[in-house]
């Protein structure tokens, strides 16, 4: 029997005469989430009680950041989010470097049910003993669970080493024949930075990337597959995982017209002993490079990956600290169409720049997401930069495509461009 759960996010949208957009996301137990939009008109505000009207900001017809979260909610930063149903309906789970949520000790991870925070406690402890970097929901054969990766070794008092599963009531480790979780052989510090679910032909499995050399006692080199019962390495004809001194920062599944594959970004020169330079493709059996006219991959780290349809079909986008991709100028963000790399140009420049950090190692694109904010699908990029395509953009920017028309009505085709910084009207 299908179970459909409503979950509502509030977004600001640019709709003439609108108060705000309530965007319910319905989570269906047997199909993909469905997204629908309902927009309240400005006139409907008059029908609301005075107490409610007083709580709504007057600018932008009442749209704005919503009350409910306060300065004391999280005492440190958050870095990972996932929606998970623990049997009591879907809730938002948040991971990061915080210790407390609204004064409650939660230790790096907490559950928000819409009204209050709660901790994820185990038999001999609460939460984790280190920062959470990534969260994902995956069914390992025993029902859906929430999987967390990061800089920790314990969850609820259970030894887990970098990755752990929360089933709604207890924490458990992902153990192999000769070890628990992941291990590093070169440094004391280990971490899982990225998680993705991918079907390599043998069924859906959980893939973990980060800085570790061993998973479940098996040599894997910074990326490994968990099928619900055992760890395995990604072994190509020439080698295993990525180079030993490297690390994995991002994972995403993308179909480049040859079938879905797992794309891996990070700080590495080789994947499976093949020169790939910071990004590589795993098709379930082999590693391959993403080559451009002047070489493979990027000269510097890839921090983020996302799939976005710019109107010409889905493409893979990569963000990081690189200035070129396949030999093409890119400036921290680039597009891969399955065959070639290209930069994101216009109206006056290519990619991003940070005027105060032009020669600094800190300028980068560290987050990417595809989202329709009401004006059409767009790619949102976040990181450390002050301009995108020549537009002033303070650490976040929007990449969009529009159809231009000649005066005779014939389409001139799609034009891609950066938009002026979010929240400002040209």
Q: Which of 47, 67, 87 is the last residue of a domain?
A: 67
> 328, 322 in Cβ contact below 8 A?
no
Distance from C-alpha of 117 to C-alpha of 6, rounded to nearest angstrom: 19
| Range from 9-18, 300-309, 396-405 carrying the lowest mean pLDDT | 9-18
Q: What is the mean pLDDT of residues 33-49?
A: 39
Q: Which residue has the higher pLDDT, 322 or 353?
A: 322
The predicted model gives 309-328 an average pLDDT of 93
pTM of the model: 0.80
Q: How many angstroms from the chain centroid is the CA of residue 203?
A: 22
Cα gap 285→236, rounded to integer Å: 6
Is it the case that residue 197 has pLDDT exceeding 60? Answer: yes
Query: In the structure, what pLDDT confidence band is assigned to residue 371 with cuts at 50, 70 and 90?
Result: confident
Mean pLDDT within 365-373: 88
Measured in residues, the chain has a length of 426
Q: For residue 153, with 0-12 CB atoms within 10 Å meaning exposed, 13-18 middle and 19 or more buried, which class applies?
A: middle
Q: Does residue 94 fall inside a structural domain? A: no
d(CA 19, CA 40) in angstroms, rounded, equals 6
Q: What is the dihedral of CA 88, 92, 94, 100, to 10 degrees?
A: -70
- Give CA separation, 382 vs 55, 120, 266, 421, in Å: 30, 29, 17, 12
Pairing of strands 132-139, 125-126: unpaired
Q: Which of 51, 67, 83 is the last residue of a domain?
A: 67
Q: How confident is the model at residue 52 (pLDDT cuts 50, 70, 90)?
A: very low
Number of domains forming the structure of the chain: 2
Distance of alpha carbon 52 from alpha carbon 50, whole angstroms:
5
Residue 35 is predicted with a pLDDT of 36
pLDDT band at 374 (very low <50, low <70, confident <90, very high): confident
pLDDT band at 58 (very low <50, low <70, confident <90, very high): very low
Give residue 408's pLDDT. Answer: 36
Least confident of 143-157, 163-177, 311-325, 386-400: 386-400
Helices (H), 83-171: none
Residue 377, pLDDT score: 87
Three-state secondary structure call for residue 149:
strand
Last residue of a domain, one of 67, 93, 113: 67
Q: What is the pLDDT of residue 3?
A: 43
Least confident of 15-24, 70-79, 406-415: 15-24
pLDDT 10s digits, 102-140 = 999 999 999 999 889 999 998 889 999 999 999 999 999
pLDDT above 90 (res 98)? yes
Residue 178 or residue 192, greater confidence: 192
Name the nearest CA neighbour of 28 among 55, 5, 45, 58.
5
Tell me whether residue 324 is in a domain.
yes
253 lies in a domain? Answer: no
In a domain, 111, yes or no: no
Name which of 424, 423, 413, 304 is nearest 364 in CA terms.
304
**pLDDT digit string, tens, across residues 224-280:** 999 999 999 999 888 899 998 999 999 999 999 999 999 999 999 999 999 999 999
CA distance 140 to 394: 40
Which helix or strand (DSSP H or E) is residue 274 part of?
A: strand 274-275
So what's the pLDDT on residue 293? 83
Which three-class secondary structure state does DSSP give residue 299?
coil
* Residue 168, domain member (yes or no): no
Q: Coil, strand or helix: which one is 226?
A: strand
Residue 318 lies in a domain: yes
- Whether 333 is covered by a domain: the verdict is yes
What's the whole-number average pLDDT of the chain? 80
* The pLDDT of residue 111: 95
Percent of the chain topping pLDDT 70: 75
**Separation CA 403–CA 414 (nearest Å):** 5
The span from the CA of 421 to the CA of 192, in Å, is 33
B/e letters for 337-367, b = 16+ CB within 10 Å, e = fewer, are eeeebbbbbbeebbbbbbeeeeeeeebbbbb
Domain enclosing residue 422, as ranges:
303-426
Asked whether residue 6 is domain-assigned, the answer is yes
């Amino acid at each position: 029997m299908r179970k459909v759960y409503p979950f509502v996010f509030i977004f600001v949208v640019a709709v003439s005469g609108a108060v705000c957009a309530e965007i319910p996301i319905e989570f269906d137990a047997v199909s993909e989430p469905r997204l629908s939009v309902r927009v309240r008109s400005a006139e409907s505000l008059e029908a609301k009680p005075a107490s409610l009207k007083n709580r709504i900001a007057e600018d932008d017809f009442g749209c704005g950041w919503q009350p409910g979260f306060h300065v004391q909610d999280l005492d440190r930063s958050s870095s990972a989010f996932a929606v998970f149903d623990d049997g009591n309906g879907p809730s938002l789970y948040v991971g990061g470097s915080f210790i407390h949520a609204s004064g409650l000790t939660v230790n790096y991870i907490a559950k928000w049910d819409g009204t209050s925070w709660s901790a994820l406690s185990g038999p001999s402890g609460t939460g984790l003993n280190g920062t959470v970097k990534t969260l994902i929901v995956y069914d390992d054969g025993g029902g859906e669970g929430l999987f967390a990766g990061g800089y920790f070794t314990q969850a609820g008092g259970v030894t887990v080493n970098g990755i752990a599963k929360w089933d709604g009531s207890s924490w458990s480790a992902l153990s192999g024949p000769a070890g628990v979780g992941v291990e590093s052989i070169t440094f004391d510090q280990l971490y899982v930075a990225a998680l993705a679910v991918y079907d390599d032909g043998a069924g859906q499995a959980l893939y973990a990337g980060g800085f570790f050399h061993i998973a479940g006692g098996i040599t894997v080199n910074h990326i490994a597959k968990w099928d619900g019962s055992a760890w395995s390495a990604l072994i190509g004809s020439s080698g295993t995982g990525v180079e030993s001194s490297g690390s994995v920062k991002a994972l995403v599944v993308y179909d480049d017209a040859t079938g879905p594959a797992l794309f891996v970004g990070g700080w590495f020169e080789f994947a499976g002993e093949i020169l790939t330079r910071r990004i590589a493709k795993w098709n379930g059996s082999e590693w391959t490079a993403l080559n451009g006219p002047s070489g493979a991959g990027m000269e510097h780290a890839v921090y983020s990956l996302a799939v976005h349809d710019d109107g010409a079909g889905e493409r893979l986008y990569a963000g990081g600290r690189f200035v070129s991709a396949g030999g093409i100028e890119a400036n921290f963000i680039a597009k891969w169409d399955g065959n070639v790399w290209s930069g994101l140009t216009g109206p006056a420049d290519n990619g991003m720049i940070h005027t105060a950090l032009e020669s600094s190692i800190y300028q980068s694109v560290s987050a990417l997401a595809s989202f329709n904010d009401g004006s059409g699908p767009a790619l949102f990029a976040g990181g450390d930069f002050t301009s995108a395509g020549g537009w002033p953009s303070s650490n976040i920017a929007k990449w969009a495509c529009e159809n231009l028309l000649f005066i005779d009505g014939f389409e001139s085709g799609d034009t891609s461009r950066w938009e002026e910084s979010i929240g400002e009207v040209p």
